[in-house]
Structure 1
Amino acid sequence: MGFVKSFEEIMANTKEAREIYNAEMITVFWETTPEIISNLLPPPLKPATAPVAMAFVGDYPTTNFDVTYKESALFINAEYEGEEGYYCLSMPVTNDMAMAGGRERFGFPKKMAEIHFEKMDNRCLGWTERRGVRVMQINVTLTGSFSDSAVQDRLIKNRQEKDGSFQNIFYNFKHFPAPEGSAFDYDPRLVSQITVAKPKELQLGEGTITFNASNYDPWHEVEVVRMLGATYMEGDIAILNGKVAAETGFMDLLPFAFLKWDMK
């Protein structure tokens, strides 16, 4: 293994999925406003049926890509050509290779951060800090049910009968600044990517999310109108290879293109 890889080494590192084993995650869901969703979605993404936001904190102790790390993320519901998924607004991580891999392959807006995850019987706590600000904190109580039964029903319906897994589509925009100093070095690409969660344990409950305003990580812009519920999962995650779903124009994406960098 050196600076120049052999064909055998390259092929040995080619995977259909990035696998995470024995992950622990807490996730909270809330209703925000349709106006916030509409303002935050770049074209060609459109608002989905309901103005729902989601955030999680995860601890990933073992992977098939030689990285262990913690991660958190903020998503809003979105739709592209009739397929509902989640558009990622922010995804802090604790490992540089996890940051580079997700950003360069799929376009996830990853930044380095301090992340905490803790489970205490039926209570869970997670938070993310960057540049001296606790950007978000999640508190979950595992009561056995969501505060909104309709959202709970949709979650359970989404579970695959065959193996109990969940599949979610994630949308990101892949782009890089041009070396000449102009906006982008190619037309920004909308990437569609599926992640499969395979719970060994899944508990439902209620949760809260608390934001602190930050110029660099403005999670507080995704206003909480009503909390919907929370989950705790222990299990495996498969991050499947994605695809380029569309290309968009420079000016269409430019106002939305600074999720990956700290700009004040």
Structure 2
Amino acid sequence: MKRTTTPTTFYNAETLTVYWETSPGIIRRILPPPLEPGPRPLVQAFVADYPRTSFCEPYREAAIFVLAQYNGQLGSYCLSMPINDDIAMGLGREIYGFPKKMANISLSKEDQRISGSVSRRDIEFFRVKAALSGKMNAGDGQQILDKYYGDGLPVFNIKYSKSADGNGFDLPPLLIGQSTSMDISVLKAAEVEVTLSDSPHDPWAELEVVKLLGGIYTVSNTILLRGSVLAKVNPVNFLPYSYLRWDWYENEGGVS
């Protein structure tokens, strides 16, 4: 019981976050109702190293989000969150509904250059290289971030439990809103190169880069704040969007 009341804290978390603009049609296609596209088709992805936490061993994590809104409230909808620790994976999936999967994640820094990558099933589907130059790729990159992300947005997840008989859900899926509090000690803008590669199980490459805005590197003590239920989600409408947590294989008997 003591563990459940201890703040979920990441100490000296090192994070490289990159931002780009994609096609509005892609955002419309992948967002489940009741979420709607935000005012601009923005994508953010990060690679992070957590050298110490309050809840498990050190681990690394990555994620990709799209700008969305619910009842006029802007937020970031999480499409994928690769991770390399099983306990952190279970906590994120079970409590907040993050679509986490085990993966190989790298993040390294040498002087003013940083590189990171994410791979699963022998496919490296995300790679980023960054130069901590103090400026972003796009001249208006920082202005766009200030306008739409401000000091941070809540994360939207849909928390659900598949029915044991394979027919829908045990309970109605729930739209969860959840935020973080960051005490930032290092913050630098970065010019970045992003490589997205096709993967059948982790289709980050579907979020094509139309306009690369740039990156932000931070070192911070970050607290994961408690989430809240924003709405019950129509299970029939959500069903086609409920497969983000698993890999799917074609075989002679069909999809497994």
Q: TM-score range by the shorter chain?
A: over 0.9
**Aligned residue in 1 for 2:252:** none
Shift of 1:223: 0.7
Candidates 195, 201, 217, aligned match of 1:210:
195
**Aligned residue in 2 for 1:245:** 230
Range 94-103 or range 196-205, more displaced: 196-205
**Aligned residue in 1 for 2:179:** 194
Range 169-178 or range 196-205, more displaced: 196-205
The letter for the 2-side match of 1:212 is S
**Aligned residue in 1 for 2:102:** 112
Structure 1 residue runs of 5 or longer lacking an equivalent are: 1-9, 161-165
> Aligned equivalents of 2:148 and 2:165: distance in 1?
46
Q: Contact between 2:56 and 2:87, CA under 8 Å: does it hold in 1? A: no
Shift of 1:211: 1.4
Candidates 64, 73, 79, aligned match of 2:69:
79
The TM-score, its normalising length taken from structure 2, stands at 0.93
**Aligned residue in 2 for 1:3:** none
Range 38-47 or range 63-72, more displaced: 63-72
**Aligned residue in 2 for 1:123:** 113
Report the 3-state secondary structure (helix = DSSP H, G, I; strand = E; otherwise coil) of the residue aligned with 1:167: coil
Q: Contact between 1:71 and 1:93, CA under 8 Å: does it hold in 2? A: yes
Matches within 5 A, 1:150-169: 150-156=140-146, 166-169=151-154
- The alignment yields a C-alpha RMSD, in angstroms, of 1.6
The TM-score, its normalising length taken from structure 1, stands at 0.90
Q: CA, structure 1 residues 223+152, in 2 after alignment: closer, same or farther (shift >3 Å)? A: same
The CA deviation string for residues 200-244 of structure 1, in whole angstroms up to 9 with x for no partner, is 000001112211211111111101001001011111111101011
Q: Contact between 1:168 and 1:196, CA under 8 Å: does it hold in 2? A: no
Q: Contact between 1:167 and 1:197, CA under 8 Å: does it hold in 2? A: no
Candidates 225, 246, 254, aligned match of 1:261:
246
> Aligned equivalents of 2:13 and 2:227: distance in 1?
21
Candidates 164, 172, 182, aligned match of 2:157:
172
> Aligned equivalents of 1:57 and 1:215: distance in 2?
21
Shift of 1:153: 2.8
Q: CA, structure 1 residues 255+157, in 2 after alignment: closer, same or farther (shift >3 Å)? A: closer
**Aligned residue in 2 for 1:59:** 49
The letter for the 2-side match of 1:122 is Q
Aligned sequence identity (%): 40
Candidates 13, 20, 40, aligned match of 1:23:
13
Shift of 1:156: 5.0
Q: CA, structure 1 residues 71+207, in 2 after alignment: closer, same or farther (shift >3 Å)? A: same
**Aligned residue in 2 for 1:226:** 211
Structure 2 residue runs of 5 or longer lacking an equivalent are: 250-256
The letter for the 1-side match of 2:202 is D
Q: Contact between 1:115 and 1:127, CA under 8 Å: does it hold in 2? A: yes
